[in-house]
Structure 1
Amino acid sequence: MGADDKAANSGEKLGGKIKEGLGKLTGNEKMEADGHKDQASGDIKNAGENVKDAFKGDNR
C-alpha cells in the first residue's frame, strides 16, 4: 500500500470534483451531492493512509 493507494484516493477526489462541477453545470443536485461524497471519501482514505504512514515511520 502507500503511493498507489494515495494516487487512487487523489483520483477519487478529482473525480468527485468533476462530478460536482457537472452536477452544478447541469442543475443535477444528486450528481453534485455524489461529487461531494466522493471527495470526502478520498479525503478520509488519504487521512487513513497518513495515519498508517505515521505508525510505520514513513513520513513522505
Structure 2
Amino acid sequence: MNKDQVKGTAEKIKGKINEAVGRATDNPQRELKGDVQQAAGEARKNYGDLKEAAKDMTKRRH
C-alpha cells in the first residue's frame, strides 16, 4: 500500500463525515464539500492503485 492509497482512503472518510454532518445539520454546502472530498479521495486512491499495479508488473518482469 502506498501513500496515495492511504491518503485517498483518508480523504474519502473525511468526505463521508462531512456529507453526513451536512445532511444532519441541513447544511447543503458542507454536504457538497463532503461529496467533493469523496470524489477527490477516490481519484487519489485509484492513482495509488495504478502506481501499485505498475510496480507489481515491473517486479514480475525481472
Which interval holds the TM-score relative to the shorter structure?
Answer: 0.7 to 0.9
Distance, in Å, in 1 between the alignment partners of 2:44 and 2:8 is: 6
TM-score, structure 2 as length reference: 0.81
Long gaps (5+) in structure 1: none
**Matched residues, number:** 57
Q: Does 1:32 align with 2:31?
A: yes
TM-score, structure 1 as length reference: 0.84
The residue aligned with 2:56 is 57
State how 1:1-60 maps to structure 2 within 5 Å: 2=2, 4-57=3-56
Long gaps (5+) in structure 2: 58-62
Larger Rg belongs to: 2
Shift of 1:5: 3.0
| Runs of 4+ deviating beyond 6 Å | none
Q: Percent identity?
A: 33
1:1-38 CA-to-partner distances (Å, cap 9, x unmatched) read 81x33222211111100000000011110100000000
Of structures 1 and 2, the one scoring higher in RCO (CA 8 A, sep 6+) is 2
